Structure 1
Amino acid sequence: MSKAKLTTVEGRPVLRIERRLAHPPKKVWRAVTEPEHLSRWYPFTVTELDLRLGGKIRFDDGQGSTLEAVVTELEPQRRFAFSTNAPAGTSRESDDLVRFELQPLDAGCLLVFTHVFDDRYGAASYASGWQVCLDALEAVVDDRPVEAGYPVAEMHDAYVERFGLDSGTVSETADGWLVRFERQLTRPVETVWAVLGGQTPPRGPQVGGPVPQAFTSDEVASGTVTSVKAPALLEYEWQSRGRAAGRVRWELSSGTGHGARLVLTQTGPNELAAERSRALKVWKARIAALAEQLRGLPR
Structure 2
Amino acid sequence: MTDTSTVRIEREMLHPPEKLWRALTQPHLIAEWLMKNDFAAVVGHRFNLRGEWGGVLDCEVLVVEPNKQLSYTWNHVHEDRAYDLRSVVTLTLTPTAKGTHLCMEQTGFLPDQKQAFHGAHHGWQGFLEKLDGLAASLG
Instruction: Judge same fold: TM > 0.5, yes or no.
Output: yes
Q: Which amino acid is 1:68 matched to?
A: D
Between Structure 1 and Structure 2, how many residues are aligned? 133
The verdict on how the C-alpha distance between 1:132 and 1:65 changes in structure 2, with shifts beyond 3 A counting, is closer
Query: Once the 2 structures are TM-superposed, how far is the Cα of residue 121 of structure 1 from its aligned partner?
Result: 3.8
Equivalent-residue separation in structure 1 for 2:85 and 2:36 (angstroms): 22
Give the equivalent residue in structure 2 for 1:101: 92
Residue of structure 1 in register with 2:119 after alignment:
125
Matched, 1:139 2:129: no
**Alignment partner of 1:26 out of 18, 21, 25:** 18
SS of alignment partner, residue 11 of structure 1: coil
Q: In the alignment, which residue of structure 1 is the partner of 2:3?
A: 11
State the alpha-carbon separation in 1 of the partners of residues 46 and 114 from structure 2: 27
- What's the TM-score once normalised by structure 2's chain length? 0.84
The one-character-per-residue Cα deviations of 1:175-217 (angstroms, maximum 9, x if unpaired) are xxxxxxxxxxxxxxxxxxxxxxxxxxxxxxxxxxxxxxxxxxx
1:67 maps to what in 2?
57
Match for residue 40 of structure 1? Answer: 32
- Partner of residue 52 from structure 1, selected from 37, 42, 46: 42
Structure 2 CA distance, aligned partners of 1:65 and 1:134? Answer: 20
Q: Aligned pair in 2 of structure 1 residues 94, 122: CA closer, same or farther (>3 Å)? A: closer
**Residue 79 of structure 2 corresponds to which residue in structure 1?**
89
Query: What amino acid is the match of 1:29?
Result: W
- TM-score, normalised by the number of residues in structure 1: 0.41
1:49 is paired with a residue whose SS is coil
C-alpha separation in 2, matches of 1:122 and 1:88: 12
Q: 1:14 and 1:131, CA in 2 relative to 1: closer, same or farther beyond 3 A?
A: same
Is the CA contact 1:13–1:120 (under 8 Å) kept in the aligned structure 2?
no
Contact 2:25 2:40 in 1 (8 A): no
Amino acid at match of 2:101: L
Distance apart, 1:67 and its partner CA = 2.7
Q: Which amino acid aligns with 1:130?
A: W
For the residues of structure 1 that align with 2:125 and 2:53, how far apart are their CA atoms? Answer: 22
Q: How much has 1:97 moved relative to structure 2?
A: 1.0
> Given that residues 25 and 77 in structure 1 are in contact (C-alpha distance below 8 angstroms), is that contact kept between their aligned partners in structure 2?
yes
Q: Name 1:114's counterpart in structure 2.
A: 105
Give the Cα–Cα distance (whole angstroms) in 1 for the partners of residues 54 and 126 of structure 2. 23
- CA gap of 1:65–1:133, structure 2 versus 1, over 3 A, is closer
Q: Distance in 2 between matches of 1:63 and 1:121?
A: 16
Contact 2:76 / 2:85 at 8 angstroms: preserved in 1? yes
